[in-house]
Amino acid sequence: MKHPLKIARILVQLTSLITITWMLMTAPTAAVIAIRGSVEHWMLIPTAMIGAASVFGFWLIITLAFGRIYCSTICPLGTIQDIAANIGSRFKHAKPYRYKPPSPWFVKAGLLGILFMAAGLGSLAASWAMIPFLEVSPYDSYVGIIDNVVKPAIHSVDSEDYVAPSTRLILAAGVNLLFIIIMGLTRGRELCNTLCPLGAALGAAGSISLFHFDIDTDLCTHCRRCEDVCRASCIDSDAGTIDPTRCVTCFNCLEACKDNALKYTTRRHRLSTPMLQKIKPVT
């Protein structure tokens, strides 16, 4: 039986992707332009961060409260990776996910530097979204994929008047899409925690979020079911710990745990029998 929080996440995630795709594919009428403006106003786009501090502040508060909800519901590239991961998990020889140590601090610092530099450069940073493997702005990257891969593929068949983008843009967006799909198929959400500056920023806030995932080590049997389904590879079942900076709040682990040892809570579990206890001094 699916966990209610996972169901809610999937519904919001699919609604977000369908809405974004529809508005990018539909002819730019006044109504569509208005909808696109409203949607993009709430997206975390580095090219708009300087002029939309309130939006960044809103998502910062959400992340501080609930973790990286943006990554698991709103980000279109995250949804593509989840779809690819779901397909990959159905292969006969698919391997379960395993805990991986986090990236070194200087890698995360570098990603944060790229993010703030992109925000400072403004519109110039939009062109970075077309550089394969550098996900400066996940939303801008998705826009580029729709404009330079999906639309040309559709209009090349049903429209003779369509003016296709340049070969360079088509190749760049195509390689980007292929890379994202392959990463999702084979690595789950590793891309979000290694090459996404926005993920690094939200991860820093998520490390101190009010709601977080906590393992009750008194109930945990170390069966690894939670670790098997953790696409962020942030659950260390042996140690009974979860890295909140990399957790994308997908709720897959809650559904996988059969021992009721995993909870999404504001509390930190304490051992019923502490490992370190006071003893009476020897006299």
pLDDT for the residue numbered 129: 47
* pLDDT bracket for residue 278 (50, 70, 90): low
Q: What are the boundaries of each domain within the chain?
A: 4-206, 212-265
What three-state secondary structure class fits 241? strand
pLDDT at 214 (0 to 100) = 93
Average pLDDT, the chain: 84
Residue 280 above 80 pLDDT? Answer: no
Classify burial at 133, counting beta carbons within 10 Å of its beta carbon; exposed 0-12, middle 13-18, buried 19 or more: exposed
Backbone φ, ψ for residue 180 (5° rounding): -65, -45
- In 3-state terms, what secondary structure has residue 219? coil
| Residues facing 213 on adjacent strands | 264
Q: Is 18 helix (H, G, I), strand (E, B) or coil?
A: helix
Residue 144 has pLDDT above 60, yes or no: yes
**What per-residue confidence (pLDDT) applies to 168?**
87
- pLDDT attached to residue 64: 96
Indicate whether 58 pLDDT > 70.
Answer: yes
- pLDDT of 124 reads 45
pLDDT bracket for residue 231 (50, 70, 90) = very high
Identify residue 210 by its one-letter amino acid code: L
The CATH number, out of the four listed (3.90.1150.10, 3.40.50.720, 3.30.70.20, 3.30.700.30), of the domain defined by the range 212-265:
3.30.70.20
Per-residue pLDDT of 81-114, as tens digits, reads 999 999 998 887 788 999 999 888 777 777 777 6
Average pLDDT in the 251-270 region? 90
Tokens of 234: 């942030």
Mean pLDDT over 51-80 rounds to 90
Residues 280, 102 contacting (CB under 8 angstroms): no
pLDDT digits (tens, 9 = 90+) for 173-193: 899 899 999 999 999 999 888
How does residue 72 score in pLDDT terms, banded at 50, 70 and 90? very high
Report the pLDDT value the prediction gives residue 128, as an integer from 0 to 100: 46
Q: What number of CA atoms fall less than 13 Å from residue 4's CA on the CB side?
A: 2
Please give the pLDDT value at position 258: 93
Q: Are strands 262-265 and 212-215 parallel, antiparallel or unpaired?
A: antiparallel
